[in-house]
Amino acid sequence: MILQTNGISKSYSKKKNSRMITVLDSTDIELRAGELTVIVGRSGSGKTTLLNILAGLLRPSEGSVLYDGMDIYGCSDKELSAFRAEHTGYIPQSQSILHDLDVKNNILLPSALIGKDESANARLLMDELGIASLENSYPDELSGGELRRTAVARALINEPSFIFADEPTNDLDVKNSSLVFGLLKKKAEEGAAVIVVTHEQSAAEYADNVYQMESGRLRSL
């Protein structure tokens, strides 16, 4: 699968009738299966905006996002949601684990949504990420790092074709950061297209492609 964009950009106006602020300039990018792409940049540079547009979560002001030629923003909400559920995995920057479910059910939620039983895969992921002993724990019993690793497992449960990770190693120590990057690299090698947005320069060593985002402009490194 290939993800392509055609001149996507995003602008906001904070108040009605006031000047528009451009957070993302006209951008073209291509993500291919089997490749890990890293986008580095400072806070507020527009990395998360780009990621959310690519992931189908934020409609661009201009341009289109094409998955194998299909314009995702031309689909209905139902079609887009179904596509996201089956083919994408997203690791948000902030804590995103649901407080009403234990670790195991949090991880299995995306598979339950598409009606698949991925209990075996869940067990493997929990073992790989070192959270197997926490499967029946609830989020209020976990540390920030454990919550982060749970979010990673949840994003990977359906073996998605496209993986979007926004600062996936926040709250993680060096050892666990390597673990997560290693896992994302492994998924890319298994055929997924992975895009990681991070301020960590060390992520580049795992990447097939590296980009820099600065004031809404993307350039290849």
Residues 150-189: x where in contact with another protein by CB under 8 A, - otherwise, as a string: ----x-----------x-----------------------
Q: How far apart are CA 9 and CA 61, in angstroms?
A: 6
What is the spatial distance between Cα 138 and Cα 105, in angstroms, rounded to a whole number? 10
Per-residue x/- track, 125-154, another protein (CB under 8 A): -------------x---------------x
d(CA 215, CA 24): 8
Exposed, middle or buried, 136 (CB in 10 Å: 0-12/13-18/19+)?
exposed
Residues 68 to 107: which contact another protein by CB under 8 A?
77-78, 81-82, 84-86, 88, 90, 92-96, 98-101, 105
Q: Does 16 bind another protein (CB under 8 A)?
A: no
Distance CA 23, CA 55 (A): 17
Q: Which helix (H) or strand (E) holds 77?
A: helix 77-87
Residue numbers at the binding site for another protein (CB under 8 A): 43, 48-49, 52, 55, 57-58, 77-78, 81-82, 84-86, 88, 90, 92-96, 98-101, 105, 108-110, 112-114, 138, 154, 166
